Amino acid sequence: MIKALIFDVDETLVYYENYDAKEWFSKYLEPAFQQHGINIDFETYRKMVKGILPRSYVERFGIDHVEFWKLVDNVNLRYRKVLAKEGKVKIFPDVPQALSELRTMELKLAAVSNASQECTEFVLDLFGLRKHFDVVYGKDYSNLDGAKPSPYLIEKALKALSASPNEALVVGDSRLDILAGKRARVKTVNVIRFERVEGADYYVKSLWELVELVKKIKNQSP
């Protein structure tokens, strides 16, 4: 029986028009690093974000990794606010009504993101989405290496929703989402917003297809 859905946020519920990671790094993040005497190149930063290197990797350069990621997140929040003013933070059109439909099915919903709590809440509030979720979890500064693909945030959401792994689905667009779900022993749904991620248990092209999938699974439950 499905009791809970755990959603990724960026590129699953919302997206950023014309976003380019390398351009964001050079225009926004690199100047902030320079102001704080930090010398981290884009490729090292990208590997930490993708989970190829741990987020604590910067400690080997004598940089406190908690303060490092707080700096990154402050820059990210400022960037999101700039994009929002320019109308470049977008919501996928299927999201509001599909989430409402899922709520009518007596499901518990969580939003879980590798972005900071403030960044995550900012974009959810921008579109009035926070009301749909029982819990919202962003990056946890007490366990930064617990970001996806670690199962930590998924397990944290399961506990808050009082759901076991076999009573939930993890819904996301990226490899990190699918890996995190698998490591938490939760079945995964890849929403194919931009590309198909191998290894998911289910594939949907929209949240409307997700609604139909959940109905099907619930009907099959004894």
Report whether 192 contacts 204 (CB < 8 A): yes
Report whether 89 contacts 83 (CB < 8 A): yes
Length, in residues, of the chain: 222
What is the domain-level CATH number for residue 162? 3.40.50.1000
Residue 105 and residue 208 in one domain:
yes
- Residue 41 phi/psi, 5-degree rounding, is -80, 165
What's the half-sphere exposure (Cβ side, CA atoms, 13 Å) at 211?
16
Over residues 103-116, the pLDDT tens digits come to 999 999 999 999 99
Over residues 36-71, the pLDDT tens digits come to 999 999 999 999 999 999 999 999 989 999 999 999
How many domains in the chain? 2
C-alpha radius of gyration, the chain, whole number: 17
Over residues 153-206, the pLDDT tens digits come to 999 999 999 999 999 999 999 999 999 999 999 999 999 999 999 999 999 999
Pick the last residue of a domain from 48, 66, 85. Answer: 85
Q: What is the mean pLDDT of the chain?
A: 96
Distance CA(200)–CA(178), nearest Å, equals 6
- Sign, Cα dihedral of 146, 43, 82, 123: negative
Q: Is the pLDDT confidence value at 222 over 70?
A: no
Residue 165 and residue 105 in one domain:
yes
Residue 128 and residue 58 in one domain:
no
Residue 8 and residue 57 in one domain:
no
Distance CA(220)–CA(222), nearest Å, equals 6
- The pLDDT assigned to 1 comes to 87
Q: How confident is the model at residue 219 (pLDDT cuts 50, 70, 90)?
A: confident
Residues of the domain holding 188: 4-16+89-220
Greatest CA separation found in the chain?
60
Residue 111 and residue 187 in one domain:
yes
Structure tokens at 109: 């919903």
Residue 81 and residue 93 in one domain:
no
The residue to which tokens 């902030």 are assigned: 32
